[in-house]
């Protein structure tokens, strides 16, 4: 089958490679940079500082579709010229209009990195870990005019380990998509694939990461705080407030509380680039690589901890 892929980054490359490895022809790619930069700026960027997506498709000699939006007239003309069987989407933030959905001969399909209908929305990697899930996965579904709501064609489960980060889960999901897309396309080419409607009673949606999501609340359990920090990494640090400043942290170690302190949020120990804080379930969270937020403050972290952080202070 002939495939057009619209996407970005790891998901784009894995969908393209998976389709090719299964013997299908990727006749064009619409990369996300087309929607991000004005054409004049992108022209020079592609010459002097090409992105990884452009380098990837050029390396495979795949046609770079020139369109400012997946719903644009330019994209429609390109699709009519290429005449693909499948429009395959991975890591894309535009809603597709009905006219765009109907352009391919067979179907417009999205690859969403969660087990739909759970974790619809833009950050399923982070959210699944932050919520303490034991598994996630990928879902191939038919595209409709809403986000992540179309009938399901295939799902693959991916386990979440106790040390998983948002970044490692993304790697797992993208690698799983690479193998699964070939299986799905081959099934569609040789047999009838029956779409399954999503159960709206089981649906959940999580939006963009907010300030509330990155600020640590020490009333929560140690495990929940650890999940929060790991889920956001490597894209976003978590923050610990102290008086009028914030510490940035990207990891923690959980230890039993052997101090006299009991109240969540109490700073019970400190050291070089390190503070230890009580959680809501009376455990000690050790943050070994804490740094002050801000380019000016960051080099002063050790001085600040030594001079202004006191055992018994509260982290809020």
Q: Are 91 and 235 within one domain? A: no
Residue 118 confidence (pLDDT): 98
Q: Are 197 and 219 within one domain? A: no
Residue 201 confidence (pLDDT): 97
Q: Are 41 and 182 within one domain? A: yes
Residue 197 confidence (pLDDT): 98
Find how far residue 249's CA is from the centre of its chain.
19
Q: Are 153 and 17 within one domain? A: yes
Is the link from the previous residue into 182 a cis peptide, with omega within 30 of 0? no
Contact call for residues 108 and 4 (beta carbons, < 8 A): no
Give the three-state DSSP class for 271: strand
How far apart (Å, rounded) are the C-alpha atoms in residues 21 and 14? 10
Closest CA to 157 of 132, 189, 179, 190: 179
Q: Are 103 and 155 within one domain? A: yes
Q: Are 215 and 171 within one domain? A: no
What CATH number does residue 8 fall under?
3.40.50.170
Range of the domain at 154: 2-202
Count how many residues are written for the chain.
Answer: 316
Q: Are 132 and 34 within one domain? A: yes
Q: Which 8-state DSSP code applies to residue 205?
A: B
pLDDT in tens, the chain (316 residues): 999 999 999 999 999 999 999 999 999 999 999 999 999 999 999 999 999 999 999 999 999 999 999 999 999 999 999 999 999 999 999 999 999 999 999 999 999 999 999 999 999 999 999 999 999 999 999 999 999 999 999 999 999 999 999 999 999 999 999 999 999 999 998 888 999 999 999 999 999 999 999 999 999 999 999 999 999 999 999 999 999 999 999 999 999 999 999 999 999 999 999 999 999 999 999 999 999 999 999 999 999 999 999 999 998 7
Residue 316 confidence (pLDDT): 78
Structural domains in the chain (count): 2
Residue 132 confidence (pLDDT): 97
């Amino acid at each position: 089958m002939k495939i057009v892929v619209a996407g970005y980054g790891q998901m784009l490359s894995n969908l393209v490679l998976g389709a090719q490895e299964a013997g299908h022809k990727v006749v064009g790619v619409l990369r996300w940079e087309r929607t991000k930069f004005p054409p004049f700026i992108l022209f020079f960027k592609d010459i002097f500082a090409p992105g990884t997506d452009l380098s990837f498709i050029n390396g495979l000699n795949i046609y770079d579709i020139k369109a400012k939006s997946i719903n644009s007239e330019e994209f429609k003309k390109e699709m009519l010229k290429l005449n693909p069987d499948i429009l395959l989407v991975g890591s894309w933030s535009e809603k597709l209009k009905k006219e765009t959905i109907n352009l391919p001969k067979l179907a417009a399909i999205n690859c969403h990195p969660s087990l739909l209908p759970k974790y619809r929305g833009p950050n399923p990697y982070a959210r699944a870990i932050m919520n303490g899930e034991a598994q996630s996965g990928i879902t191939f579904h038919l595209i409709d005019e809403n986000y992540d709501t179309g009938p399901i064609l295939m799902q693959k489960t991916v386990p979440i380990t106790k040390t998983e980060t948002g970044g490692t889960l993304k790697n797992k999901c993208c690698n799983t998509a690479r193998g699964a897309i070939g299986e799905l396309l081959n099934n569609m080419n040789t047999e009838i694939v029956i779409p399954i409607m999503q159960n709206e009673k089981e649906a959940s949606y999580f939006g963009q990461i907010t300030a509330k999501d990155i600020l640590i609340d020490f009333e929560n359990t140690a495990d929940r705080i650890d999940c929060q920090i790991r889920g956001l990494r490597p894209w976003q640090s978590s923050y610990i407030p102290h008086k009028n400043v914030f510490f940035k942290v990207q990891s923690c170690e959980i230890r039993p509380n052997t101090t006299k302190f009991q109240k969540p949020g109490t700073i019970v120990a400190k050291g070089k680039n390190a503070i230890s804080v009580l959680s809501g379930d009376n455990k000690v969270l050790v943050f070994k690589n804490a740094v002050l937020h801000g380019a000016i403050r960051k080099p002063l972290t050790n001085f600040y901890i030594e001079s202004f952080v006191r055992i018994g202070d509260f982290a809020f």
